[in-house]
Amino acid sequence: MSEIIKVFKNVNTQTHVGAATSLTLASTTASQQAVIKDVTCPGVRKADLDLDGFTIMSTTGTDTDKDLNATGNLIMGPSSTLSIKFPLVGPPSTQGFEGMFFSSSSDTHNYMVGDGIGDGLTTKMTSIVNFSTANDRHCDSATACDVAGVATFFRQYSGTCYMYQSTTSTTETTSFTFGAGGSVQGLTNDGTYLYTKSQSNDSTIYRRHIVNAVSDTLTAASNFEGQGANQGSFFLHHNGYLYSKYSASSALMYIMNLSTLAVTSVSSTNLGGYSCGACVVTTLAGESYIVEQGTDYWQYYLIGGSGGFTQMSGQSSSSTEYGNAGAEVAPGVAWIFDEQSDDLYVIDMNTKTWVEIATPSQTATKGAVHDQFGSRLGFCGILRPQEYAVNYDAYCSGILITDGA
């Protein structure tokens, strides 16, 4: 029996983005063994050198520039794999927030920009511009998405939808009839379609393709109520599901699966006479919630959880509230505006805490310009995800021994 001995050098140039992954540096078959002499992988931050599921060593260095270096004689037996393993890179992060606020008072049309990182209950915008004080941007609901890299905002009022873009946001880019006239109040999107529904207890879902502008309808497997008008709650989308609640005092929230069209429901608490609005937030821990502010309380629902809403202390005292005025401004942080005293409520689901801001225009917040909202208002925004990428070169050298005849 003879052996074939080879000296090898492997070089891998890779980019690691976000998710946990593994890179194979060297491997042996059932008839091979290897002696690893050197492994060098500079600037990879956190990484482990792994041999058949056992960690040989981990990176060293600072948090921003970690190197993985190994020298000596590492013996690889037959059918073995030497790899570099990367964990999930950091908590969810964002590269910015863009939002629009619409109302029937002096803060008629505001465009906001934030860092998207947030600071809990003291999260603020980096800039805000008031485009109009004409009191003519009445709003039932608003929603936002990314269209070809441009933040795009939709305002719905009395069956007409108005589109705005961050690049030309002072006036609407276009407008179109959407849904069943004045009976539709809610508006949401999944990045491809806009969705709305009548407040009536029926099964018709109206949708419109955001890019090609083709409209059609879906028929739910069973009837359910949409967002109501005065006192109305919300109509939201998250991860392939629509979430609908009629009013602040409704006992149920309906959930429709957009793939199967099946409808289920979960229990909701009585928030009092009026709902200021609601939105979906996703915390730094990766948990997604629906949070809603009402007259007497606020509440949250863990999406995918086994229970219904949990009621929390924190009242708005709102009255004659039309429209959904809530949006996520940073991971896990919701801003919800109120018409009664022109206040802002900040809910941080990372810590499940709440605060009322009586003067949203203050420099520490930059949530308004005039602190005048009227009774028909809407707020929407887009958080742009930022994937943290690591570019690296991995070098591995050694001796490969193959059994021969």
Domain 3-90+388-403 coded CATH 1.10.10.60:
no
Q: Could you tell me how many helices (H) and strands (E) the chain has, helices first? A: 0, 33
Q: Distance between CA 322 and CA 339 in Å, rounded?
A: 9
Beta bridge partners of 153: 144, 164
The string of pLDDT tens digits covering residues 204-236 is 999 999 999 999 999 999 999 999 987 779 999
The string of pLDDT tens digits covering residues 304-322 is 998 999 999 999 977 666 7
Residue-level pLDDT at 18 = 47
Q: Distance between CA 246 and CA 310 in Å, rounded?
A: 17
Each domain of the chain, given as residue ranges in start order, spans: 3-90+388-403, 94-385
The residue ranking higher by pLDDT, 137 or 318, is 137
Q: Distance between CA 232 and CA 249 in Å, rounded?
A: 9
Residue-level pLDDT at 396 = 80
Confidence of residue 170 (pLDDT cuts 50, 70, 90): confident
Q: Do domains 3-90+388-403 and 94-385 have the same CATH topology?
A: no
User: To the nearest whole number, what is the mean pLDDT of the chain?
Assistant: 87
The string of pLDDT tens digits covering residues 98-114 is 999 999 999 999 999 99
Q: Are 257 and 241 in contact (CB under 8 A)?
A: yes
Confidence of residue 16 (pLDDT cuts 50, 70, 90): low
Show the CA angle centred on residue 299, arms to residues 297 and 300, nearest 5°: 170
Residue-level pLDDT at 55 = 87
The string of pLDDT tens digits covering residues 66-91 is 677 888 888 888 999 988 887 655 54
Structure tokens at 284: 């730094």
Residue-level pLDDT at 25 = 83
pTM for this one?
A: 0.75
Strand, coil or helix: what is 15?
A: strand
Find the Cα–Cα–Cα–Cα dihedral 325, 328, 332, 337, rounded to 10°: -30
Please provide the CATH number assigned to the domain covering 94-385.
Answer: 2.120.10.80
Show the CA angle centred on residue 379, arms to residues 180 and 125, nearest 5°: 165
- Range 167-184 burial, b when 16+ CB lie within 10 A, else e: eebeebeeeeebbbeebb
Strand, coil or helix: what is 341?
A: coil
Residue-level pLDDT at 38 = 85
Which DSSP letter does residue 181 get? G
Taking residues 354-366, what's their average pLDDT?
A: 96
Residue-level pLDDT at 41 = 80
Q: DSSP letters of 218-276?
A: EEEEEEE----STTEEEEEEETTEEEEEEETT-SEEEEEETTT--EEEEE-----S-EE
